[in-house]
Amino acid sequence: MNRRVVVTGVGVLAPGGIGTGSFWDLLSEGRTATRRISFFDPTPFRSQVAAEIDFDPEAHGLSPQEIRRMDRAAQLAVVAAREAVEDSDIALDELGPHRVGVTVGSAVGATMGLDQEYRVVSNGGESWLVDHRYAVGHLFGHLVPSSFAKEVAWAIGAEGPTTVISTGCTSGLDSVGYACGLIGEGSADVVIAGATDAPISPITVACFDAIKATTNSNDDPQHASRPFDGRRNGFVLGEGAAMFVLEEYGHARRRGATVYAEIAGYATRCNAFHMTGLRPDGREMAEAIRVALDAARLNPEDIDYINAHGSGTKQNDRHETAAFKRSLGRHAYRTPVSSIKSMIGHSLGAIGSLEIAASVLAARYDVVPPTANLTTPDPECDLDYVPQVARECPVENVLTVGSGFGGFQTAMVLTSGGRSGA
Amino acid sequence: MTPSVVVTGLGVVAPNGLGTGEYWAATLAGKNGIGRLTRFDPTGYPARLAGEVPGFVPEEYLPSRLIPQTDHMTRLALVATEWALGDAALEPARLPEFDMGVVTSNSAGGFEFGQRELENLWRRGGEHVSAYQSFAWFYAVNTGQISIRHGMRGPSGVVVSEQAGGLDAIAQARRQIRWGTPVMVAGGVEGSLCPWGWTALLTSGRISTRDDPDRAYLPFDADASGYVPGEGGAMLILEDARTTRERGGDLGYGEIAGYGATFDPRPGSGRPPGLRRAIEQSLADARVAATEVDVVFADAAGVPELDAVEAAAIHAVFGPRVPVTAPKTMTGRLYSGGGPLDVASALLSIRDGVIPPTTNVTPDPRYAIDLVVGGPRPANVRTALVLARGQGGFNSALVLRASH
């Protein structure tokens, strides 16, 4: 990768508020957006908590036809992409659609749409030979999540390389990493990249219930997501989308764009261990961090903030803490680490991009968002997790990481000043 | 200097042959792998033909513990990978820890597994949903399971671009090699041949509803009526040619020489489709002239408007004389598996000096392309172009070249 890539536009739809502004308000104030599931009656399920968005697609400019055709995850991606393009003030028409690509991350695709339509064609699960006559015309778009990338490309008028990246819960980092590759090698000058997921449906809740990955703190939804806390008992399912305008550095500079940050390093590794389990030593995530730092030409001491995966499962937070120590050494103890999942839950494939958004905003405002609900220390999680209250401090270089089912471990380094010239 | 990336191993699971040898012999013989669906009773559906992989008994190939946690397509992908590794004479355990990664493409995930668990949920209740559902359905499953089975800890990925994705996965693996990981597994194997997947596929509006396996999927024919879905695909071992030489291997089947990907303009824009640009980009990336291309493995949609777009793009870049073929008339379209299977076929064409035929098709002269029909055509194939398109507007092109 030789050409440099910078973030020049941000669009966010997250629980607790629509738009980048309300997203940052929520994070910097340390408020939580987790609540009892309202999309369906969660009573039959073990976990009844989620972080939902109050989202009216019509109010955000989608036509009735688009709303019908698109799964909620696609709707979120399109609205976030439009916000990012507007934020960057870029004239895509002048650049030409051939030089603009689209990369959308998603872990679970059109889960809500598929769950809903399945019930119709199977008559509530009664028939294995489902009745095709009840299938809606847009069902194919739900079958193939590549439709999300198509919708974003149509919405912004892109005709360059376009794809969906689906590496489970690291999709939101890997889609941005993939897009950096496209710009780096010269296949595109601008990529509208990010991720979306809207998984809050009965099938998703049931599948995480089955392995007790999600919390069962149903009595206290607001405090149910507790990364790094001694009383953590699983993650809180969330939804959301974050999309970025990624731009070749020289291009951004020539047009006088406002640059949030440079994507200075990216690496991904697999643990080749277990589809859902993690080895406690954090070896592969540590390797991804080391390689990403090398790519960014930074030392561990240069990292000012770690935006953690911090899902709030017992094994994840331990695994990740070990990975930070392994890769950053003593500096791991001196660096603020926080998990925004404590406030907006875990939106699977989308969360990596939401965390990139939080990272570039932390660098813009020199504020580290807190880990909400962190009140009970866990001896195995002994780093500085910025409990409950945001912290003002200089933030120039941010490390953000993700870890997911399938064994994916990803690290990204973002840098906002100094040598990036950003 | 950019390293040259070569393919040193192939693993094929196709409706007309299980294993590379069987598939290639069947393909050159023009053997049709399309038939009436057997995995479920298709009587009540408007389309009843598919390309099913015959005689695949997963228990014969995989440890029993993997069976309950995998969809049919993942089992096929695991077996294809194992064969590809064997073909390349590679033992991942002997490589340094992070020197091998996996990139697969998928378009719909483990859909049959998903249907079973949706049924468990809605018929019997949430507590009956499998503990494996959280990873057996999602699109990353094949990459995850392959990496675990063979201890591959290097950079990995999953690309979803409907039926173009298989080529995108191979291109992404090539990038990873260029960035420093010496060995990658890449490709796509899938299938959604269950009633729920079938119902969703039908709404694509492109599935042939004919019942005669020899008349249902006829790309570039005046009688084209859509396509027949299938299952399977291919997994490939890609290596930095320097690594291959160091371990004393030969340079395998050929080089991944060039790649281009584009997206079609949104409907109603009046702008030209992107396939021609993808072809031109892949040739430029490979630094080959159009005249050097010896064969084009076409996407061959079987939908008249799409066949016309493809024929026009091929004609515009190459003129009427380049041989064009679509052996997928014998397998049906394999979604993310289709591109990688065509890449395998193109590499075998280079090896054997023969172009496999497009079966059952009487070329419509209006397309003005030299479609290889009637039987395999002997040819000195040094450079091949593979095309793949995904519904929605995805276009990908991959150039393969004989290893020097």
Q: Which of B71, B196, B209 to mutate to test the interface with A (most CBs of A within 10 A)?
A: B196
Burial class (CB within 10 angstroms; exposed 0-12, middle 13-18, buried 19+) of B366:
exposed
Residues of chain A with CATH 3.40.47.10: 5-254, 265-412
**Pairing of the two strands A35-36 and A49-51:** antiparallel
* Cα separation, B404 vs B397, whole angstroms: 22
DSSP A419: G
> What's the rounded mean pLDDT across residues A387-393?
98
Please report the DSSP string for A145-183 in residue order: THHHHHHHHHHHT--S-EEEE--GGGHHHHHHHHHHHHH
- Contacts of residue B175 in chain A, CB cutoff 8 Å? 181, 185
pLDDT above 50 (res A422): no
Question: Is the CB of residue B153 less than 8 Å away from at least one CB of chain A?
Answer: yes
User: Predicted confidence band at A304 (pLDDT cuts at 50, 70, 90)?
Assistant: very high
Contact B203 A140 (CB under 8 A): yes
Catalytic positions of A: 169, 309, 346
As a CATH number, domain B5-246 is: 3.40.47.10
* Cα separation, A55 vs A83, whole angstroms: 15
Q: What residues contact A86, with CB distance under 8 A and at least 6 apart? A: A9, A11
Å between B204 CA and nearest CA of chain A: 5
* Cα separation, B268 vs A380, whole angstroms: 58
Which pair of tokens denotes residue B238?
């890609």
Interface of A with B in 215-244 (CB under 8 A): none
Polymer length of chain B: 404
Give ∠ CA B211-B212-B215 in degrees, rounded to 5.
120
DSSP B322: S
Torsion angle (degrees, nearest 10) of CA B202, B205, B206, B210? 60
pLDDT above 50 (res A1): no
- Contacts of residue B98 in chain A, CB cutoff 8 Å? 269, 287
Interface of A with B in 173-192 (CB under 8 A): 174, 178, 181, 185, 187
The confidence score (pLDDT) of residue A421 equals 43
Q: Are B79 and B10 in contact (CB under 8 A)?
A: no
Q: Which residue has the tokens 């014998």?
A: B330
Contact B126 A213 (CB under 8 A): no
pLDDT above 70 (res A419): no
- Contacts of residue A159 in chain B, CB cutoff 8 Å? 262-265, 271, 274
* Cα separation, B104 vs B88, whole angstroms: 18
User: Predicted confidence band at A272 (pLDDT cuts at 50, 70, 90)?
Assistant: very high
**H-type helices in A30-135, by residue range?**
64-69, 72-88, 92-95, 111-121
Å between A364 CA and nearest CA of chain B: 30
> What's the rounded mean pLDDT across residues A54-67?
97
In this complex, the residue of B133, B160, B162 whose CB is nearest that of residue A166 is B160
Which pair of tokens denotes residue B233?
């695909």
In this complex, the residue of A121, A163, A270 whose CB is nearest that of residue B159 is A163
* Cα separation, A116 vs A315, whole angstroms: 32
Compare all CA atoms of chain B with the CA of A273 and give the residue at the minimum distance.
Answer: B148
Give the three-state DSSP class for B77. helix
A318 sits in which H/E element: helix A314-328
* Cα separation, B155 vs B153, whole angstroms: 7
Cβ-Cβ contacts under 8 Å between A and B: the total is 268
pLDDT tens digits, one per residue of A11-29: 999 999 899 999 999 999 9
In this complex, the residue of A106, A109, A163 whose CB is nearest that of residue B161 is A163
Q: Are A407 and A274 in contact (CB under 8 A)?
A: yes
Strands (E) across B77-182 are located at: 100-105, 157-160
**H-type helices in B162-274, by residue range?**
165-178, 195-202, 241-246
Q: Are A358 and A308 in contact (CB under 8 A)?
A: no
Q: Which residue has the tokens 């489970």?
A: A168
Q: Are B157 and A165 in contact (CB under 8 A)?
A: yes
Half-sphere exposure of A118 (CA within 13 A, CB side): 29
Question: Is the CB of residue B262 less than 8 Å away from at least one CB of chain A?
Answer: yes
pLDDT tens digits, one per residue of A314-353: 999 999 999 999 999 999 999 999 999 999 999 999 999 9
Question: Is the CB of residue A130 less than 8 Å away from at least one CB of chain B?
Answer: yes
> What's the rounded mean pLDDT across residues A233-254?
98
**Pairing of the two strands B394-401 and B254-263:** antiparallel
The confidence score (pLDDT) of residue A420 equals 43
Q: Which residues of chain B have pLDDT under 70?
A: 1, 404
Give the three-state DSSP class for B138. coil
Å between A393 CA and nearest CA of chain B: 33
Helices then strands (H, E): number in chain B?
A: 12, 16
Classify the C-alpha dihedral A92-A93-A94-A96 as positive or negative. Answer: positive
* ipTM value greater than 0.90: yes
The confidence score (pLDDT) of residue B251 equals 82
**Within this chain, domains B5-246 and B258-401 share the same CATH topology:** yes
Contact B115 A118 (CB under 8 A): yes
Q: What residues contact A292, with CB distance under 8 A and at least 6 apart? A: A265, A266, A267, A399, A411, A412, A413
As a CATH number, domain B258-401 is: 3.40.47.10
Half-sphere exposure of A168 (CA within 13 A, CB side): 24
Q: Does domain A5-254 have CATH number 3.40.50.880?
A: no
- Contacts of residue B134 in chain A, CB cutoff 8 Å? 207-208, 210-211, 213, 276, 405
Question: Is the CB of residue B106 less than 8 Å away from at least one CB of chain A?
Answer: yes
Q: Per-domain residue ranges for chain B?
A: 5-246, 258-401
Which residue, among B295, B387, B377, has the nearest Cα to B342 in the 3D structure? B387
Q: Are B314 and B296 in contact (CB under 8 A)?
A: yes
Question: Is the CB of residue B102 less than 8 Å away from at least one CB of chain A?
Answer: yes
Question: Is the CB of residue A352 less than 8 Å away from at least one CB of chain B?
Answer: no
Residues facing residue B237 across a β-bridge: B9, B185
The confidence score (pLDDT) of residue B171 equals 98
Q: What residues contact B287, with CB distance under 8 A and at least 6 apart? A: B257, B258
Which residue, among A32, A383, A15, has the nearest Cα to A226 in the 3D structure? A32
Domain A265-412, CATH number (from 3.40.47.10, 3.50.50.60, 3.30.70.660, 3.30.1330.10): 3.40.47.10
pLDDT tens digits, one per residue of A160-204: 999 999 999 999 999 999 999 999 999 999 999 999 999 999 999
- State the CB neighbour count (10 A cutoff) for residue B131: 15
- Contacts of residue A139 in chain B, CB cutoff 8 Å? 199-200, 203
Which residue, among B338, B178, B256, B254, has the nearest Cα to B8 in the 3D structure? B254
* Cα separation, A82 vs A70, whole angstroms: 16
